[in-house]
């Protein structure tokens, strides 16, 4: 972290409670301590939603750290992919974050083309997918409280042919004391187009818990045979506890479009500081809970 960005974050911790929580929980590196802190926080929050239909999803997510879900329909995929193709995006690692039409006009060297919060929330089916009652029930069971949708993201991973960097390297997410992410492939993903990689079970293994990037050699040595590669057709969808070690493999031959939802206990610094869209009661026949969606919907 540079001197300027370090000073900026210090100011934010004084003025924005999201930053105070974020940096406080990142300093807690032991799994037992993190779980104890998560339990204390969860006890102060609304109780999770319950659905008997979510029991198998919950069990697999808790045991393995991930669970595959029924895929999106072809119409859902087509609507979302058409919406994001050609839409203006930005590379957060470029100075001043200039906007460009993604994915075709991504500047040289761009690894990830991100979309703005207001564009993500406006995507067809996005709210309905994020508020699937089985997903909310399973995630709530893992969190120990009603989930908060604290960040909804969509991005193109650009086939760049360069060395992996940042989230393309193995790491643990440390977004909250306890959290779960939903991944949705909106393009076909094979081994050459940026499959997500997850080291099964590491959400419960108290090794390599430092907040840093890990080498492939470290992962092979500590977790031999546990590294999974998630390929699949457009519409493939899965939940994952990304405190477990994972990475997004850099695409080699084809760009990848992905939609992601972060469910956490507290508000996350990567989400909007204020709601970016008016509250709606439902989308595609799925009820929209005001508490769960309060970060995005006013």
Structure confidence at residue 119 as a pLDDT band (50, 70, 90): very high
DSSP letters spanning 224-260: TT-EEEE-B-TT-EEEE-TTS-EEEPPPSSS-EEEEE
Q: Is the pLDDT of residue 5 over 60?
A: no
Instruction: Give the pLDDT mean for 90-118.
Output: 92
Q: Is the pLDDT of residue 7 over 70?
A: no
Residue with tokens 């970016």: 276
pLDDT tens track for 62-91: 999 999 999 999 999 999 999 999 999 999
SS3 content of the chain, % helix, strand, coil (to 5): 30, 20, 45
pLDDT (0 to 100) of residue 8: 65
Task: Kindly list the domain boundaries of the chain, sorted by start residue.
Answer: 3-287
Helices (H), the chain: 3-15, 17-26, 31-42, 55-64, 74-84, 117-121, 126-130, 133-143, 216-222
Burial class (CB in 10 A: 0-12, 13-18, 19+), 74: exposed
Q: Is the pLDDT of residue 6 over 60?
A: no
The Cβ of residue 182 has, within 10 Å, a number of other Cβ atoms equal to 21
pLDDT (0 to 100) of residue 4: 43
* CA distance linking residue 83 with residue 156, whole number of Å: 13
Residue with tokens 């949708």: 149
Instruction: Give the pLDDT mean for 224-252.
Output: 96
Predicted TM-score (pTM) of the model is 0.94
Domain 3-287 is classified in which CATH homologous superfamily?
A: q2cbj1_9rhob like domain (2.60.120.620)
C-alpha R_g of the chain: 18
pLDDT (0 to 100) of residue 3: 43
Nearest to 259 by CA among 65, 91, 115: 115
CB neighbour burial string for 23-60, b if at least 16 within 10 angstroms, e if fewer = eebeebeeeeebeebbeebbeebeebbebeebeebbee
Q: Is the pLDDT of residue 2 over 80?
A: no
* CA distance linking residue 282 with residue 36, whole number of Å: 35
Diameter of the chain measured on Cα atoms? 51
The answer to whether 181 touches 263, Cβ cutoff 8 Å, is yes
């Amino acid at each position: 972290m540079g001197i300027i960005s370090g000073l900026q974050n210090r100011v934010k911790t004084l003025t924005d409670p999201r930053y105070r929580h974020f940096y406080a929980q990142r300093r807690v590196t032991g799994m037992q301590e993190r779980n104890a802190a998560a339990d204390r926080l969860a006890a102060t929050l609304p109780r999770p939603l319950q659905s008997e239909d979510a029991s198998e999803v919950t069990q697999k997510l808790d045991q393995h750290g991930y669970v595959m879900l029924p895929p999106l329909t072809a119409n859902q995929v087509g609507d979302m992919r058409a919406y994001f193709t050609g839409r203006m995006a930005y590379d957060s690692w470029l100075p001043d974050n200039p906007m460009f039409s993604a994915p075709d006009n991504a500047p040289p060297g761009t690894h990830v083309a991100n979309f703005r919060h207001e564009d993500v929330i406006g995507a067809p089916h996005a709210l309905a997918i994020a508020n699937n009652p089985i997903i909310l029930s399973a995630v709530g069971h893992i969190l120990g409280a009603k989930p908060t949708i604290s960040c909804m993201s969509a991005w193109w991973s650009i086939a760049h042919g360069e060395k992996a960097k940042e989230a393309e390297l193995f790491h643990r997410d440390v977004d909250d004391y306890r959290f779960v992410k939903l991944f949705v492939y909106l393009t076909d993903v094979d081994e050459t187009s940026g499959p997500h990689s997850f080291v099964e079970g590491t959400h419960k293994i108290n090794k390599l818990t430092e907040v840093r990037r890990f080498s492939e050699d470290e992962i092979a040595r500590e977790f031999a045979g546990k590294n999974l590669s998630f390929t699949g057709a457009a519409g493939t969808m899965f939940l994952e506890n990304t405190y477990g070690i994972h990475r997004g493999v850099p695409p080699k031959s084809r760009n990848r479009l992905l939609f992601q939802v972060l469910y956490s206990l507290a508000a996350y610094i990567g989400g909007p500081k204020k709601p970016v869209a008016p509250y709606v009661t439902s989308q595609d026949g799925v009820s929209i809970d005001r508490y769960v969606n309060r970060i995005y919907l006013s």
